[in-house]
Amino acid sequence: MDFEKYVENAWARHGDAPAEVLGGLEGGLALATTPENAAALAQLTVHVTGEHLGLWLEGVERLGRIRARFQSDMTAALSSALDRGEAILRHCEHEDASLEHLPKADRIRVLAVAASALQAHGNSKRAIQEFRKALALTEADLERDPAVARTLAVSGNNLACALEEKEGRDANDTELMLLAAKTGRKFWEIAGTWLEVERAEYRLAKAYLAAGDPVAALDHAALCLKSCRDHQAEDLERFYAHECLAACHAKGGDLKNAKAAALAAKSHYDRMNAENQESVRQDLVSLERLLEPGA
């Protein structure tokens, strides 16, 4: 197996089997032959040991092995990637870990990713602190930095998703959820395409729904659907736009429009291929409840 196939396979499996992917990192290092390979391995290492497993110091140790292996072939890009990765993991382990040695753009990225990792391991209080620190550092000249914008967009999306699903979400969690969803929407406008922006509108609508504000949610669900129509989106995107609209109407007590949106979603489901149908089947079951007699 070459490195490209290794890392592609590792990313595909890491969500379901992070410990297994962790065990294979040493083999990945053996396959890495270029500084670019090493930087990709560092990114995988930080994500798996950080957001998925919470093994902060083991992650730092593994990044040290990458650094040692490529010491003679070190590039500025690889050095920066390793510095950022180590800073993310050390900052998760120790709140007071210094970031002053990093450029401001890298500090923003470290804080945003650390916030996402901390939330993944149940530390909402520190997550919101670190995320707010990242946003406070993001001055106008850095908002357009592609790497900064993308990191804030991805971290915002990840945080919002995690908090929507969190049981027993408290006021601090809800505050962070909305802030994260708004941040994702803002920065996908800079870092993404219409598709990421459309999905960010969906995420923001869902966040407002989870926060108990169906009126604000409906505005963003409508923008999500408009984007799908404007860009002739595929049925999968339109299904979720209508599903979101149905949920907003239902939460607001408008069952007539909720059922109309659910029927529209079902029509897009019927046109999907089998793989996409399988991926949305559970959401379809929830929608069909709105179509039951007496609902």
What is the pLDDT at residue 116?
A: 92
- Containing structural domain, residue 111: 98-192
Please state, as a whole number, how many other Cβ atoms lie within 10 Å of the Cβ of residue 71.
8
Task: Please tell me the total count of domains within the chain.
Answer: 3
Please state, as a whole number, how many other Cβ atoms lie within 10 Å of the Cβ of residue 70.
23
What is the pLDDT at residue 288?
A: 84
Q: Is the per-residue pLDDT at 94 higher than 70? A: yes
Q: Is residue 138 part of a domain?
A: yes
Tell me: do 5 and 93 sit in the same domain.
yes
Tell me: do 21 and 56 sit in the same domain.
yes
Tell me: do 85 and 117 sit in the same domain.
no
Q: Is residue 245 part of a domain?
A: yes
- Return contacts of 132-137, CB within 8 angstroms, 24+ apart: 132/179, 134/107, 134/108, 134/109, 135/179, 135/183, 137/104, 137/107, 137/108, 137/111
Boundary (domain end) residue, out of 74, 97, 120: 97
Q: Is residue 201 part of a domain?
A: no
Q: Is residue 228 part of a domain?
A: yes
Q: Is residue 198 part of a domain?
A: no
Q: What is the DSSP letter of 14?
A: T
Q: Is residue 204 part of a domain?
A: no
Tell me: do 182 and 217 sit in the same domain.
no
Q: Is residue 172 part of a domain?
A: yes
Average pLDDT, the chain: 94
Tell me: do 23 and 106 sit in the same domain.
no
Residue-wise DSSP of 57-88: HHHHHHHHHHHHHTGGG--HHHHHHHHHHHHH
Q: Is the per-residue pLDDT at 71 higher than 90? A: yes
Higher pLDDT, 142 or 47: 47
What is the pLDDT at residue 287?
A: 87
Which tens digits make up the pLDDT trace of 144-186? 899 999 999 999 999 999 899 888 898 888 988 999 999 999 9
What is the chain's alpha carbon radius of gyration, rounded to the nearest angstrom? Answer: 21
Boundary (domain end) residue, out of 158, 192, 226: 192
Q: What percent of the chain has pLDDT over 70?
A: 99
Tell me: do 110 and 159 sit in the same domain.
yes
Tell me: do 80 and 116 sit in the same domain.
no
Which tens digits make up the pLDDT trace of 179-220? 999 999 999 999 999 999 999 999 999 999 999 999 999 999
Instruction: For residue 201, give every residue at least 6 positions away whose Cβ sits within 8 Å of its Cβ, in sequence order, or none.
Output: 185, 220, 221, 223, 224, 227
What integer is the mean pLDDT of 99-122? 93
Tell me: do 133 and 180 sit in the same domain.
yes
The band of 294, judged by pLDDT with boundaries at 50, 70 and 90, is low
Tell me: do 5 and 90 sit in the same domain.
yes
Tell me: do 44 and 80 sit in the same domain.
yes
Q: Is the per-residue pLDDT at 92 higher than 60? A: yes
Tell me: do 50 and 66 sit in the same domain.
yes
Q: What are phi and psi of 207, to 5 degrees?
A: -65, -45
Q: Is the per-residue pLDDT at 46 higher than 90? A: yes
Tell me: do 89 and 105 sit in the same domain.
no
What integer is the mean pLDDT of 59-67? 97
What is the pLDDT at residue 115?
A: 94
The band of 295, judged by pLDDT with boundaries at 50, 70 and 90, is low
What is the pLDDT at residue 293?
A: 63
What is the pLDDT at residue 98?
A: 84
Q: Is residue 199 part of a domain?
A: no
Boundary (domain end) residue, out of 124, 159, 192: 192
What is the pLDDT at residue 104?
A: 93
